[in-house]
Amino acid sequence: MKNRIRQLVARIDKLMDGPYLESNANMLKISHIKLGHLYAEEESYWAQKSRIQLLKKGDRNTLFFHVQATSRLKKNKIEGLKDLNSNWVSDANNICRVAWNYFHNIFKSDASNHDDNYLNYIQKSVTEDVNNMLARQIIDD
């Protein structure tokens, strides 16, 4: 099947690189349709093969399923992190603290880093009068 797909892709490439002719356009359209069918057939093949493997090795609540689930859990678990002082932290509370501190520090605003000179390049769209009107204290009637 891979060989047929490879041949069809090569044929499509050749048709696309060739001169534009009505017959080439029709052949290109037909080739794309055939390629879509081959890809669908290949996908079906692999779905059936995985289903067969699952049936052979087991499904729900079996050792096969348990091993698959626990290996995924182990792979996704954070065993530890390095804090700001490069100390390795491995207990859950400290891992949470290190992660919180890291993200808190990278997303916090630091007013001392702002350079007001850049603001001079931005065109003002609110006049001084309008700004005073918007900033005035609201009085309930």
- CA–CA distance, 53 with 10 (Å, rounded to integer): 33
| More reliable by pLDDT, 132 or 71 | 132
**Banded pLDDT at 114 (limits 50, 70, 90):** low
Q: How many residues does the chain have?
A: 141
Tell me which residue of 43, 18, 44, 48 sits closest to 31, measured CA to CA: 18
The H or E element spanning position 41 is helix 22-57
Angle at 132 between CA 126 and CA 137, to 5 degrees: 135
Q: For 66-108, how does the pLDDT look when each residue is reduced to its tens digit (9 = 90+)?
A: 777 777 777 778 889 999 899 999 999 999 999 999 999 888 8
Both tokens assigned to 136: 């005035």
Query: Are residues 89 and 83 in contact, defined by beta-carbon separation less than 8 angstroms?
Result: yes
